[in-house]
Amino acid sequence: MKISEIKNILKQLKEVSFILPNGSHVPPHFHITELGIISKEYIDCGGTIREDKTANFQLWTADDLDHRIEPEKIIDIIDIAENSIGLGDLEVEVEYQTETIGKYGLEFVEGTFHLSSTQTDCLAKDKCGITEKPELPSDTSSCCSPTTGCC
């Protein structure tokens, strides 16, 4: 989801809520403690130099249970970031503290923002000789044996 999509959605909402990938809700008294640009320059395992740039929202909850951030306030934060740090219409990622700081994608489904799981991937499969990631057997109740394909 891009910044422009979030702003358009927020203009139509009366309240903002987030759901984690496991179905639990981010407490409604969350804060947006940061909105920034994450720029990453790196080399993949195949030797290709790559660059990514994303907008990063950091959600945080505290003990102030009466705190509620309104959609208009989030739009104000985005507007300030657009004007002060040159936040463009970037793809959005969200950081939220669970067992550790989690990094999530963002989707909007039936009136609620959903934090979506992100995954690592090999970006140079052709150079690494990787064809497909093997699927684990769906029956994980039995012990792993050489015939199950999981060892």
Residue-range definition of the domain harbouring residue 105: 3-121
Asked if residue 68 belongs to a domain, the reply is yes
Whether 100 maps to a domain, the answer reads yes
Counting the structural domains of the chain, the total is 1
How high is the pLDDT of residue 137?
58
Percent of the chain with pLDDT over 70: 87
Determine, yes or no, domain membership for 127: no
Residue 110 lies in a domain: yes
Each residue's pLDDT tens digit, 29-66: 999 999 999 999 999 999 999 999 999 999 999 888 88
Instruction: Name the token pair of 71.
Output: 């959609």
| pLDDT block averages, 10 residues each, the chain of length 151 | 98 96 94 96 94 96 88 97 97 93 95 94 87 61 51 47
| In-domain check, residue 133 | no
Phi then psi for residue 10, to 5 deg, are -60, -35
